């Protein structure tokens, strides 16, 4: 089941959720500095083995008020795994994030956006997709990432980016500056959906997409 939400925000200022996948990595600290300088909150869909390797960055993400979601332990296509491996990828990541930050993740973004009924059932939490994809994993160019995001963003969007890409991290200051000038608020995914759904909770086992969302299998 995929829930489609209208791209509207009931608040006086438009909201957007910036999300970053695959970290924490060597460029995450610089990204956190940038977000802090702009008073922006984001959602990090962290990979479990990366959290284990850089626990101080996951703690810093949580301590700064950012949201941390589950992006599997080792970034495989979850739809191709055995039941045991599927559960291990999800549960092991939840455990390391909780042990590191003190809070278990409440959202899952499956690697590559791939999910099916079995993955949704195993997740035990809402699955979050995206509506803006600058393809920064493919086109590693700061100017491209900046233009692609600024040209596409509308109120209520979820933007997919990757903090393991230095060209993406370099694009974020201008993205924040321009969108701030347009009056945007930078909120976490959970905050955005609470606004869009008038405080109704997201449902475990449901995949949340958006109009114009990128098809599964295109991004990490």
Q: Which region holds residue 120: left if phi is over 0, alpha if psi is between -120 and 50, else beta?
A: alpha
Query: Which DSSP symbol is given to 203?
Result: P
With DSSP H G I counted as helix, E B as strand and the rest as coil, what are the percentages for the chain, rounded to 5?
A: 40, 15, 45
Active-site residue (options: 21, 46, 133, 209): 21
Our answer to whether residue 162 is catalytic in this structure is: yes
Active-site residue (options: 46, 162, 163, 209): 162
Q: How many residues belong to the chain? A: 220
Scanning the structure block, which residue is given the tokens 């979601």? 69
Our answer to whether residue 141 is catalytic in this structure is: no
Q: Exposed (0-12), middle (13-18) or buried (19+): which is 79, by Cβ within 10 Å?
A: middle
Active-site residue numbers? Answer: 21, 162
């Amino acid at each position: 089941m995929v829930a489609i939400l209208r791209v509207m925000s009931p608040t006086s200022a438009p909201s957007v959720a910036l999300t970053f996948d695959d970290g924490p990595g060597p460029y995450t600290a610089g990204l956190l500095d940038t977000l802090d300088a702009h008073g922006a909150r984001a959602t990090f869909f962290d990979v479990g083995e990366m959290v284990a390797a850089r626990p101080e960055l996951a703690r810093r993400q949580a301590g700064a008020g950012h949201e941390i979601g589950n992006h599997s332990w080792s970034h495989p296509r979850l739809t191709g795994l055995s039941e045991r491996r599927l559960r291990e990828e999800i549960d092991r990541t939840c455990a390391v994030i909780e042990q590191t930050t003190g809070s278990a993740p409440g959202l899952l973004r499956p690697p590559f956006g791939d999910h099916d009924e079995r993955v949704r059932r195993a997740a035990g939490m809402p699955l979050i997709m995206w509506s803006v994809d600058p393809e920064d994993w493919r086109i590693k160019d700061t100017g491209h990432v900046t233009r692609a995001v600024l040209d596409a963003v509308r109120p209520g969007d979820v933007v997919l980016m990757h903090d393991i890409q230095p060209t993406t991290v370099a694009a974020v200051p201008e993205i924040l500056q321009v969108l701030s000038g347009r009056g945007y608020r930078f909120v976490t995914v959970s905050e955005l959906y609470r606004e869009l759904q008038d405080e109704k909770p997201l449902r475990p086992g449901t995949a949340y997409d958006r109009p114009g969302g990128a098809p599964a299998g295109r991004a990490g």
